[in-house]
Amino acid sequence: MSPMRSFTLHQIRGSFGIVQLSADSSVPHWALDPCPFSAVVRTEHELTIVFPLDRLPADLRGGRSWACLRVEGPFDFSEIGVLASLAAPLAEASVSIFAVSTYDTDYLLVQGSQLTAARSALEATGHRVELL
C-alpha cells in the first residue's frame, strides 16, 4: 500500500504508560508536570492519561512500555488522510496503535515490543522514522 503522502515521524525518547482512572477522578497533580509528551483525556466514561513510564505511579491500571512517535507537522484541519496513511501500514503489519491528536499534529503510541515492526512497516510505505 502506498501512502497518499510520506511523513517523517520522530520517536520521543523514553517509554510511556497509558492508564485509566474513573470518569469522576480529578486529574492527578503529577499528570500536569512538564515532560516530553503527555495527554489527559476525559470522557463521560473514563479519564485516560498518557505519561512517561518512569514518572507514572505503579499502582495505576493500564498499559506499560509504549513508544511514542510524533508526526512532523503542523497540519491544517482540512488535510485528509494523515492518520489513515500511517495507521493502515501498521494495521497490515499487525501493530496496534494508540493515537492522540493535538492542534498541530498526531502522535502514535505503539507497544515497545512492536517498535521495530512499526518502523519497518512505516518505512516500507515511504515514511521516515527518526529518534529525537
pLDDT in tens, 56-83: 988 887 778 999 999 999 988 888 889 9
CB atoms under 10 Å from CB of 63, counted, come to 16
CATH 3.30.2130.10 fits 8-131, yes or no: yes
CA distance linking residue 4 with residue 47, whole number of Å: 34
* pTM for the whole structure: 0.91
Q: What is the percent of the chain with per-residue pLDDT over 70, rounded to a whole number?
A: 97
Cell output for 12:
520521543
Q: Cα–Cα–Cα angle for 79, 85, 89, nearest 5°?
A: 170
Pure H helices in 1-132: 82-92, 115-124
Q: 78 versus 110: which is more confidently predicted?
A: 110
Q: Cα–Cα–Cα angle for 56, 66, 68, nearest 5°?
A: 105
Quote the mean pLDDT of the chain.
Answer: 93
CB atoms under 10 Å from CB of 120, counted, come to 14
pLDDT value at residue 20: 93
CA distance linking residue 61 with residue 122, whole number of Å: 30
pLDDT higher than threshold 70 for residue 33: yes
- Side-chain half-sphere of 131: how many Cα atoms within 13 Å? 5
Per-residue pLDDT of 85-103, as tens digits, reads 999 999 999 999 999 999 9
